[in-house]
Each structure stands twice: as structure tokens, then as C-alpha cells.
Structure 1
Amino acid sequence: MDFRMGDSARALRAQLRAMVREHVPADFLGAFTEDPADLEVAQRFCRLLADRGLLCLAWPAEFGGRDASVWEQTVVREEMWAHHEPRGAQYMGVNWVGPTVMRHGTPEQRRRHLPPIARGEVIWCQGFSEPDAGSDLASLRTAARPEGEGWRISGQKIWTSYATMAQWCFLLARTSRGAEKQHGLTIFLVPMERTGIEVRPIRSMMGPHHLNEVFLDEVRVGPADVLGTVDDGWKVVREVLAFERVGIARYARCERLLQTAPSALGDQWDTLPTELRGRWAGMLVHCRRARLLAYRVLSLQSRGTVSPGDTAAYRIAVTRLDQDSAEVLTEIVGHGRLTDVDGRRFQRAVQDHWRYAQASTVASGSIEMQRILLARTLLAAS
């Protein structure tokens, strides 16, 4: 495997870092805080990326992209995650909602949805998980009852990121029941302003967050809202989850924080216990391993040969990296006295990383489910 990206990728990376330095505050820790200004920073930065043709770099030109390679888009993804995701919620539309609409949407759906995503003007949320259907998503109970040429949807979704600010929902609901629970599921593209949708934020001990409950009460949808084929949505869901899981480049943030630690501590770095510095070095190796796994999955996806086991292996590695690196970084910060501006900024970034890492092994499919997927793939190949 040769994953050297070349001079163009290095130039793109330098361009993105310069844009972040110029347009994103140094103490920015993400769009989803108690301060509304942070979300506005992300929205402005998205529009700036779009104006320069960098938001949807690898999309076809006809849909607002630049026909760039998947590797150039990977550079964008890595730099955004390394700098606390100044695209805000846009990565969802860019990474998988838009590409899924390209592959499965009607010409009208493509015309309606792709240009706003490419311009950074719209936020999407994902209506998948439910109180009794998280890792076992196919057990969902949200139902679409036939009415005339359309349906009425009722049910509840949970852990729905960005629902308070999203304009559209990529919603999965049951339209019929068959012998297998994966059959009879349909994807709907639903505007969040539609009558019957209620959003309730979920507060947690980890501080400000973007998670919500979504209640649907007789929400009216029609044939034009269906993505793909009625009752055959599970095929699309499997594809979506693969793109979603590899599209979250949190290894880039882990690596940047780890590499920043020695300069943030200054002379105090040499006073750290040898064992702790050894674990720090081990985490950098873990970062490289997760990065190479991501690159392997991206290469397989670009050739159309990726399997659930491939994405599961990556997801296991990166979620463990998230949590293990957070523990090491927290210990490093605890050994130092960070009193200058850069030191305190680093400490806040580590604290933010630790909070979000607590949920990493259950988000986007629990690590237990990823291990099951990986085991099934290995057994099938044996």
C-alpha cells in the first residue's frame, strides 16, 4: 500500500491551515457550545470553503464539486477534524448525505438538495437511532402508515445530532413488515419544519452537546420525499454507515493534540514520568495505525470493494484511540502547571477531547457491534 499523497496534497494542507489561522479563533473548540458565536464561526467558514471550491472538493463538478480525488477530500477532512471541525455540522452533508443522494436520488432530489450542501447553506440531521433500536437499528419502531399516495410517520428518534439547527432530516422509518426485520424500511428526506416534528435537546454531564430527541406525530410525507426504493432502505443504510464511520477523522485531532503536548508543557515536559512519555509515544503509533486503516478503507471504497468488516476494524481502532489518547493527555496536563495563554488553551482542548471521547465507543454503532461485524467478516472469509 502506497498512501503518499504528493505535492498537491501538501499544498492543499498548507492552504487549509492558513485559512484556519486567519478565520478561526485560536481558542475555537467546535461549533456546539453555549456561545452562539461559535456556530456562526463555523457557518462563515463553511461558506468560505465553498466559495473557494474546497467544501465538496471530491464531488463531481456538475453537483458543485471540483472532481478532485478522494485523497484530496481526505486532506480536507483531516485538517477540519484536527482543528475542532470548523465546518460544524456540514461534514454530514458533505461526507454521506450528498453522495447518497447522488447515487440513489431522483434528478429532482439532486437538483433540490445537492447545490445547498455544496454551498454550505444547509444542515442535515440523521433520524436513525431510537430508544430501543440503537446498535440493532433494524428493530426500529418509527412507522410510516400509508395514507393516499403518501404516508403518515409517527415515532421517536434519539441521539439525533444537530436536530435543533438542521433544516432537513435523513429519516429511516418502517413502511412494511416482512420475514426479515431489515426488509420493509424506507428512507425519507424530510424538512424539519414540517408539522408534527418536535425536537428536545438532551443535556448531559459532559457539558454543551448537539444531541437531541426527535418526536414525530403523524408527519405527512409523500412519494417525492422517498430516497431510493420503498421497503428497500436497508441497502442504502449499510452504505451510509460505512461512509459515516470512515468519514470521521478523529485520529487527526488526537495526533495534533499529542504532538502539541511537548511545546505546551515547555521545560516541564522533561519532568514527566518516563512511563507516561512512553505511553504518549505509543499513542502516536496508534494514531498512525488508525490513519493507515482509514486510508485502506478509503482505497477500498473508491474501488467499490469495501466490506462491513473493513469499516468495523477502522472504527474499533479510532474509537479506542480516542479514549486511550484522552486518558494519556489528561495525565500529561495533570502533571504540568499550565499558566500561560497557550498552555491554558491546550488544557481546555484536552478537556474537550476527553469529554467527547467518553461517548466514542457507542457513537455511530457501539464497539461491541463493530467487533461482531468484524468477526462475521473474518469467519465468512475463513
Structure 2
Amino acid sequence: MDFTMGEAATGLRDQLRSLIAERVPADFRGAFTDDPDDLRIAQDFCRFLADRGLLCLAWPEEFGGRGASVWEQTVVREEMWAHHEPRGAQYMGVNWVGPTIMRHGTDDQRRQHLPPIARGEVIWCQGFSEPGSGSDLASLRTAARREGDGWRISGQKIWTSYATMAQWCFLLARTSTGERRQQGLTVFLVPMSDPAIEVRPIRSMLGPHHLNEVFFDELQVTEANVLGTVDDGWSVVQEVLSFERVGIARYARCELLLQQAPEVLGDRWEALPSDLRTRWARELVRCRRARLLAYRVVSMQAEGRVRPGDSALYRIAVTTLDQSSADVLAEIAAYTAGDPGVERFRLDVEDHWGYSQAATVSSGSIEMQRILLARDLVAAS
């Protein structure tokens, strides 16, 4: 099976790997650590990519991109995630906030928001989940009520990644009630600098910035902050989630670490228990399967025909891969204990294992993904 996607994609992959090796420290493990210098490294590298037209590669030129193929943008996703996402939190703006504003935003919203994203100058967070309304997103209670020619928003969001550093929030709130809970929801684009917004970090094993509570206390916005049609936000969110769930190429880091394992152990590789090496090989096969599922969804997205079940199937495959590969890698890494020459590999595996624990919960729990998939299968039968 050929996974290169052609000469242009291969050249881009080589270019990105070279730039990462030159400009990102070897011990970099993401922007969201206890060391503030890691965030600076990511922000600098993000702007560096933007200056060279490599950040929003597949965006139309009129919005700051290069009009490249979705496959070249997929290469960027893969190489960034494989190397601890040196763009920082920009994948959110690049992968789905920007494209959603392109499709549903006004001309003024496009002019305001798309250039800063394309330049790597702005960080977005997502105001979706709430206490008691995580996987059941449509049951959210954050409310926006009409006031004059604008809106007043009050409520609480939780598990909001990057809220402490974000300049803007892609916020879903209830604007009316209907026969179904999915009716009467509206998307707002709100500035995080407003004093009516309070952010409280939640400490976790993922490190700073990842998980936060966000409170909206009579936040005042105007019609200019509404994205799309009032009360029709659910259709926008469904589209967003289909992009978000395939936007992180988790399989790329799994495969990179699995391929590194025999190289790191060298002569000791053959001394590993045979069942552990068999499980290692099985995880590599699962990586290829997840990659193919991702490519299938990317192709569907490019043709405008992706369904929730398509993204859900990929999400199930890649998040379970994240966890199973992390477990195998942790067992392999244990055989290198006491060897200072492979410390970097052990730390990379430890980082991968920590992130994998949240994989089947974030961006919609695996149970909800299975429900979405089952609904699509029933509808197609």
C-alpha cells in the first residue's frame, strides 16, 4: 500500500521534517507544559510556518492560504502531531474554526478573523461542553437572550482547552426552545478578553492550559458576533465536529513511536517476549487501518459528502489505537529502564501514554461515537 500521496506530498513531508529538526528543540513535548518557554517556541514556529505559507496550506489564497490540496494539508497535520504539535493550539483555528467561518460567516467576519488565523497570530477555544451536558451536547443550558439589538449570554462551559491563552471563543448557546433540543441553538464568536468572562484552570495530568472552566456572566454581544443563522447552530456544530474529529492525526505519533522502538532497543529487540513483539506488529497494522480511515474521511470532506458516522468510525479506530499502542509502548519502554541513552524515547512514550488516556473522552466520548455510527448504519440499511 502506497501512503506517500505523490511527489508533492513527499517533498512537503521532507520539508516539514527538516524545518522541525532545525527550529524545534529535540526535547520539545508540546506547548502546554509547566515551562512557559515551550509555548513561546510553538508560537514562534507557528508564525514561521505562516510566513512560508505552510500553516493554512489548503485554504483559498483569498483567505491567506495557498490553495493546495487537502492531501498536502493532511501531510501537515500528520507531521505536526507526530512531533508533539509544534504549532501549539493553532490546529483548532486552521482545521475547523477558519473553514467554518469561510462557509457560514459574513464578509466582515471573514475579514476580521481569517487573516489572523492564517498568520498564526490568534488562538481559539471551543465553548461546547457543560457540567451535565458533555456528550449530550444538545442539552446545554448556557443561554443567550435578546436585549435590544444584541444578546446577553450567561452560563458555564467546562473542559475548555486553551481558554487561559485564547483570544476568541467559538461558543454554542441556547437562544430559544423547540420541539427537539437540537433546535434553538446559536453559534457566537466572542472575545475572551471581555471582563464578563472568567476562566478557572482545572489541574490534570495533561498539564497547564488543557482543561478549564469558563463562566459567562451577562456577556453582552451584538449581531456581528452571531455565526450563521440564529437558532440553526446545531447544523453548524455537526459540520464542525466532523472536521474536528479527523483533524488530529493521532495515528501519526503512534506509528512514529512504534517504528522507533526496534531502533532504540537495537540488539535487545529480539530478546523481548515474542507475544510483546506480536502485539507491537499488530499495533502497526492498526496504525495503517486508522490512516486509511482518515484518508477516506478527508476524501469525503473534500467532496462535501461526509456523514457523522464516517467521522465517528475513524474516531473510534484512532482513539482506541492511541490507548492500545500506548500500553504496548509502555511495556517496551520498561525494558530500557536504567539506560540513559534512550531517555528521550521513554519520555516520549510517557507523554504519549498520558495524552492517550483522554483520547476516548475528548471531542465526544467513544460511547457517543458508537451511537453516531450505529445511527448511520441503521439509516443506510
Decide: shared fold, TM above 0.5: yes
Residues 1:302 and 2:302 aligned together: yes
- Letter of the 1:377 partner, please give it: D
Q: Find the counterpart in structure 1 of residue 353 from structure 2.
A: 354
Residues 1:319 and 2:323 aligned together: no
- Name the count of aligned residue pairs: 381
Q: Find the counterpart in structure 2 of residue 285 from structure 1.
A: 285
CA contact (8 A) 1:338 1:347 kept: no
The DSSP-based 3-state class of the residue aligned with 2:186 is strand
Superposed counterparts of 1:147-186, under 5 Å: 147-186=147-186
The DSSP-based 3-state class of the residue aligned with 2:39 is helix
The DSSP-based 3-state class of the residue aligned with 1:188 is strand
- Spell out, residue by residue over 1:29-77, the C-alpha distance to the aligned partner (whole angstroms, 9 max, x if none): 1000000000001000001100110000000000000000000000000
Q: Find the counterpart in structure 1 of residue 204 from structure 2.
A: 204
Q: Find the counterpart in structure 1 of residue 53 from structure 2.
A: 53
Find the aligned partners of 1:310 and 1:354 in 2 and give their Cα distance: 26
Shift of 1:339: 2.1
- Letter of the 1:103 partner, please give it: R
CA contact (8 A) 2:77 2:249 kept: yes
- Spell out, residue by residue over 1:246-303, the C-alpha distance to the aligned partner (whole angstroms, 9 max, x if none): 0010100000011111112222212110000000000000000000000000111111
Shift of 1:229: 0.4
The DSSP-based 3-state class of the residue aligned with 2:145 is strand
What are structure 2's unaligned runs of at least 5 residues?
Answer: none
What are structure 1's unaligned runs of at least 5 residues?
Answer: none
Q: Find the counterpart in structure 2 of residue 240 from structure 1.
A: 240
- Letter of the 1:375 partner, please give it: A
Find the aligned partners of 1:156 and 1:266 in 2 and give their Cα distance: 52
Shift of 1:161: 0.5
Q: Find the counterpart in structure 2 of residue 136 from structure 1.
A: 136
Q: Find the counterpart in structure 2 of residue 374 from structure 1.
A: 373
Superposed counterparts of 1:9-48, under 5 Å: 9-48=9-48
* Matched-pair identity in %: 75
Q: TM-score, length-normalised on structure 1?
A: 0.98
Find the aligned partners of 1:76 and 1:282 in 2 and give their Cα distance: 26
Superposed counterparts of 1:256-295, under 5 Å: 256-295=256-295
- Letter of the 2:226 partner, please give it: V
Find the aligned partners of 1:280 and 1:373 in 2 and give their Cα distance: 30
The DSSP-based 3-state class of the residue aligned with 1:171 is strand
Q: Find the counterpart in structure 2 of residue 230 from structure 1.
A: 230
Find the aligned partners of 2:159 and 2:348 in 1 and give their Cα distance: 24
The DSSP-based 3-state class of the residue aligned with 1:145 is strand
Q: Find the counterpart in structure 1 of residue 8 from structure 2.
A: 8
The DSSP-based 3-state class of the residue aligned with 1:210 is coil
- Letter of the 2:34 partner, please give it: E
The DSSP-based 3-state class of the residue aligned with 2:172 is strand
Find the aligned partners of 1:373 and 1:188 in 2 and give their Cα distance: 25
Shift of 1:340: 3.0
The DSSP-based 3-state class of the residue aligned with 2:42 is helix
Find the aligned partners of 1:283 and 1:3 in 2 and give their Cα distance: 17
CA contact (8 A) 2:204 2:211 kept: no
Find the aligned partners of 2:123 and 2:165 in 1 and give their Cα distance: 7
Find the aligned partners of 2:337 and 2:326 in 1 and give their Cα distance: 18
Find the aligned partners of 1:214 and 1:325 in 2 and give their Cα distance: 33
The DSSP-based 3-state class of the residue aligned with 2:171 is strand
Decide whether aligned partners of structure 1 residues 187 and 206 sit closer, same or farther in structure 2, where only a CA change above 3 A counts. closer
CA contact (8 A) 2:4 2:10 kept: no
Shift of 1:210: 1.4
Decide whether aligned partners of structure 1 residues 297 and 2 sit closer, same or farther in structure 2, where only a CA change above 3 A counts. farther
Superposed counterparts of 1:78-117, under 5 Å: 78-117=78-117
Find the aligned partners of 2:244 and 2:302 in 1 and give their Cα distance: 15
Q: Find the counterpart in structure 2 of residue 70 from structure 1.
A: 70
Find the aligned partners of 1:2 and 1:153 in 2 and give their Cα distance: 50
- Spell out, residue by residue over 1:78-125, the C-alpha distance to the aligned partner (whole angstroms, 9 max, x if none): 000000000100000000000000000000000000000000000000
CA contact (8 A) 2:250 2:318 kept: yes
The DSSP-based 3-state class of the residue aligned with 1:297 is helix
- Letter of the 2:318 partner, please give it: V
- Letter of the 2:350 partner, please give it: Q
The DSSP-based 3-state class of the residue aligned with 2:293 is helix
RMSD of the TM alignment (CA)? 1.2
Find the aligned partners of 1:205 and 1:151 in 2 and give their Cα distance: 37
Shift of 1:208: 4.2
Find the aligned partners of 1:373 and 1:349 in 2 and give their Cα distance: 33
Decide whether aligned partners of structure 1 residues 230 and 304 sit closer, same or farther in structure 2, where only a CA change above 3 A counts. same
The DSSP-based 3-state class of the residue aligned with 1:220 is strand
Find the aligned partners of 1:206 and 1:162 in 2 and give their Cα distance: 12
Shift of 1:206: 5.0
Find the aligned partners of 1:96 and 1:338 in 2 and give their Cα distance: 43
The DSSP-based 3-state class of the residue aligned with 1:198 is strand
Find the aligned partners of 1:206 and 1:65 in 2 and give their Cα distance: 32
CA contact (8 A) 1:3 1:295 kept: no
